[in-house]
Amino acid sequence: MKVKTAAKINLTLDVVGKLENGYHALESVFQTVGIYDEVEVVLNESGEITLTCDSPAEFGFIPCDERNIAYKAARRFLDENGMVDGCEIHISKGIPSQAGMGGGSTDAAAVIYCLQALTGRSLAHAEKLGADVPFFLTGGTAYVTGIGENIATAPDYSGRILVIAKGSEGVSTAEAYSLIDALEAPAHPDTKALMDAISSGGEEYVHFGNLFEQAIKLGSVDRIKSVMSANGGLGATMTGSGSAVFGLFKSYEEAEKCSALLRTEGYFAQVCETVSKAFIEL
């Protein structure tokens, strides 16, 4: 079975507390977007899991063994269901790494989706694989709290035109959270105002926001936002813990022009739309 599996952005992302187990409590609006990896899963009788990956050199190193979250998803699925089968996984990467776009988590979700379809069985507690994995099994627009495991449907935000761009700088999640903890009197994004604006058709982009952006302060993020804002981009904001930036555009013409400008400066830049589901079967 083969699927295209979508990336995500955070229209808002806030850290609202710290749990007793040391994890951070989040409040966010997640949105799937039309930048995809392709994931193929073949179930076999080998009893082994193999993973191969095609990835552009600029995306950096992608582990193709038990360190990869897609491999971990297959292992957990087979073990939890008491299956002695093996499987072959192949991933073609289109989602940049260390971008805050959930590239690894969406691959893991795609493996679960395929294995569920191939076997008629399911996997409990997908959040144990990674905080973003349960969202990708739902996709679309979602209000997300806790560590990512509490997912509620939010007003539909599909069909919007975006440019998503990223520099060569990456951010580790652990480093990002340590910087968040060091913030003093940060300005928190207003997630409720964002959802109200989407529902009412208001100017939702004025409520885009990401607490991590205040903590991390990457030069590439500032430059990308500046180019977007000067070329028709609305509400340009970093996604996740970085380092990709998305901006909303009113037309494809403006979006394509801005994307081309960013590419001339050496950034990854792609025009896409917000989409209502994570998986497209091929």
At residue 179, the pLDDT reads 87
List 8, 72, 93, 166, catalytic entry = 8
HSE toward the beta carbon, residue 72, CA cutoff 13 A: 15
pLDDT at 19: 80
* pLDDT single digits (tens) 69-98: 999 999 999 999 999 999 999 999 999 998
Q: Strand 24-44 and strand 86-92: pairing? A: antiparallel
Q: Tell me, what DSSP letter sits at residue 126?
A: G
- CA triplet 41, 164, 208: central angle to 5 degrees? 110
Element (H, E) at 5: strand 2-18
Contacts of residue 170, Cβ cutoff 8 Å, sequence gap at least 6: 60, 97, 98, 99, 242, 243
130 contacts 105 by C-beta, under 8 angstroms: yes
Of 93, 107, 132, 166, catalytic: 132
Q: 149-202 pLDDT, tens per residue? A: 899 999 999 999 999 999 988 767 778 888 888 888 888 999 999 999 999 999
- Whether 196 is catalytic is no
Block means of pLDDT (10 residues each) for the chain, length 282 residues? Answer: 98 89 89 98 96 92 94 97 96 94 97 98 91 94 91 96 92 79 88 96 96 90 97 97 94 98 97 98 98
Q: Which amino acid is at 99?
A: A
- Concerning whether 222 is annotated as a catalytic residue, the answer is no
Ramachandran quadrant class, 240 (left: phi over 0; alpha: psi -120 to 50; beta: rest): left
Encoding tokens for residue 63? 């582990």
Q: What is the pLDDT of residue 21?
A: 80
Q: d(Cα 103, Cα 280) in Å, to the nearest integer?
A: 16
What is the reported pLDDT for 58?
Answer: 87
